[in-house]
Amino acid sequence: MGEKMVALAMGAHPDDIEFMMSGTLLLLKRAGAEIHICNLANGCYGSQVYSKDEAARVRALEAQAAARVAGAVWHPSLFDDTGIYYDAPSLAKATAVVRRVKPDIVLTLSRYDYMEDHEYASRLASSATFNRCLPSYVTDPPEPAYNKPVAVYHSLPHALMDMQRDPVEPEFVVDISEVMNQKREMLAQHVSQKEWLDATQGMDSYLDDMVDISRLVGTRFGGCAYAEGWRRHNHLGYCEPDFAPLQTILADVLKMVVKGK
């Protein structure tokens, strides 16, 4: 496909990408893409043990360790936890990241999820990508506009349902079975999260829960051992209708989903 493809995964908190997106990101890396990771929030409130500042420091180190496992470029977080908002200052910061990376593929969270940090992160990622080519739009810090095709993809929500508990189905799934061990290794770098998730969200083992979700997506939608599900963002303002690089690059491990299956 000519020049090396660039993929940017933009999530809300450290470990969101590992839960729902990292298998696809790893397969893109294997296929020759340059991969980037940006957690918009720093995880500062995700601890029962550390102070706010110490939690942010520890979780940044864990996120960097996970990025090293993947061979990804890590980008610093922009906001505190619960501080992700869809507003003009936040969008200017997120757009600066997109303009620096210049991705061909943006992977982000579901537009519909169980918490608003995730939903706002999804909106910021897609809008920031749209803003990449607006020459008079000023980012924070300033980054020059660029214009090349880019496709945005939304993962499934963490519980495979929205805030009203209605199921969210993928458009297609990517069979991640061959990189499942590496996906688990990435998530395992987030050591501080085991106690936090056990105490606050009823996840007895965050590693086992991630595996169970991946298995459920694989068996329910893909007829495979483990999978991640995706929905492609509307192409208008981003690319031509037939520009679908994720489907093209990962064609051998991608399966379209029959709705209502």
Task: Answer yes or no: is pLDDT of 117 > 50.
Answer: yes
Task: Give the integer Cα–Cα distance in Å for 155 and 187.
Answer: 17
What's the CA gap between 193 and 153, in Å, rounded? Answer: 26
Residue 50 or 108, more confident: 108
User: Residue 147, class by beta-carbon neighbours within 10 Å (0-12 exposed, 13-18 middle, 19+ buried)?
Assistant: exposed
Sorting pLDDT into bands at 50, 70 and 90, what band is 2? low
CA-to-CA dists, residue 188 to 65, 181, 194, 230, angstroms: 10, 10, 9, 23
In the numeric block, the tokens 């982000």 are attached to: 108
* CATH superfamily, with its number, for domain 6-256: LmbE-like (3.40.50.10320)
Average pLDDT over residues 62-74: 98
Which of 2-16, 41-55, 90-104 has the largest mean confidence? Answer: 90-104
How much is the pLDDT for 93? Answer: 98
Average pLDDT value over all residues in the chain: 94
Residue 153 C-alpha from the chain's centroid: 9
The pLDDT of residue 206: 83
76-86 pLDDT, tens per residue? Answer: 999 999 999 99
23 to each of 30, 156, 211, how far by Cα in Å?
A: 11, 13, 11
**Model pLDDT for residues 161-174, shown as the tens digit of each residue:** 999 999 999 999 99
pLDDT tens digits for 185-238? Answer: 999 999 887 766 665 555 547 888 999 999 999 999 999 999 999 999 999 999
Two structure tokens written together for 116 = 């608003």
> Which pLDDT score, from 0 to 100, does residue 193 have?
78
Q: What is the pLDDT of residue 1?
A: 45
pTM comes to 0.94
Domain boundaries, the chain: 6-256
Which residue would you say has higher pLDDT here, 48 or 149? 149
Give the pLDDT of residue 198. 62
The pLDDT of residue 200: 57
